[in-house]
Structure 1
Amino acid sequence: MEQPERIVVGTDGSEESVEAVRWAVRQAALTGATVQVVTAWEVPMAYGAGAMVMPDEAEFDAAAKQVAEQTVRAAEAEDGEVAVERKTVMGHPARVLVEAAEGAALLVLGSRGRGGFKGMLLGSVSQHCIANAPCPVLVVRASSAPRG
């Protein structure tokens, strides 16, 4: 039996990523695809070699899992109609998302994440994914995404 198509969604807890999950779930309901919510995390630079106490990587992964769970919940993505998988990966978000999109039907991203400058239309992760993803990329803006 053939696997259903997979839609990958990058999340960081921002309103844009909540809208991206909403869009992906609506699309998956129309196409029979599954949704894979991917949250990347990195050890902050402040915890580098000079840090006195280095938190366990499990703590960062647990925080990323919490972000993914809160994003899925905020998007009201679990209605039972669409399979929604959560995945957390250590690494730079742009690299992680491009790798996660391998074999996917679509990569869905929010136009801006939590970092950078609010005036920019696209964040650096979105720009990198648009240029390097192995599948089509859809970028969702929170202010323009239809609800419902």
Structure 2
Amino acid sequence: MGKINKILVPVDGSDNACKAVDRAIDMAEKAKASLEFVYVASHINEHIPSEIVFDRIWEKLPAGVSATKHVETGSRPKAIIRVAQETNSDIIIMGSRGLGIFKGALIGSVSQKVIEDSPIPVMVVK
């Protein structure tokens, strides 16, 4: 993997997604990379509007770090991979488990599917 210029971070308001945001911001600062955040609306996170999630992220962003928001619908893994490709992201940094119903799983079903299908590297944060 070469220089990291763009980092995609799927967000859903979960604790693990917040940890992934922190890791991505840190990496973006060090690599002087831009950030792409994607929120995939579904029945699982319908009680957390994307604006609330993005507002919390934008409060954390340090000066000089460029970031863009994306809101998608449909299959979460497919939407994440599609946005990664459309934005020419170099890496996906995501939480190990989101707001899904399988809280006890070692790795969430969305994370697992993204790892399996992504053409770019995926970092999973616990």
Does TM-score exceed 0.5, indicating one fold?
yes
Q: CA RMSD in A?
A: 2.0
> In the alignment, is the contact (CA less than 8 A) between 1:41 and 1:92 conserved in 2?
no
1:107 matched residue in structure 2: 92
SS where residue 87 of structure 1 aligns?
Answer: strand
> In the alignment, is the contact (CA less than 8 A) between 1:77 and 1:84 conserved in 2?
no
> How many equivalent pairs are there?
119
Q: CA deviation at 1:68?
A: 2.7
1:66 pairs with 2:61: no
2:40 matched residue in structure 1: 40
In the superposition, the TM-score normalised over structure 2's length comes to 0.85
In the superposition, the TM-score normalised over structure 1's length comes to 0.73
- Aligned residue among 125, 136, 140 for 2:110: 125
Runs of 4 or more, structure 1, over 6 Å off, are none
Gaps of 5+ in 2: none
1:82 matched residue in structure 2: 65
SS where residue 101 of structure 1 aligns?
Answer: helix
1:6 matched residue in structure 2: 6
1:135 pairs with 2:109: no
Indicate the structure (1 or 2) with the bigger Cα radius of gyration.
1
SS where residue 134 of structure 1 aligns?
Answer: coil
Q: CA deviation at 1:85?
A: 1.6
Query: Quick one: which amino acid aligns to residue 15 of structure 1?
Result: D
Q: Identity percentage over the alignment?
A: 30
Query: Quick one: which amino acid aligns to residue 109 of structure 2?
Result: S
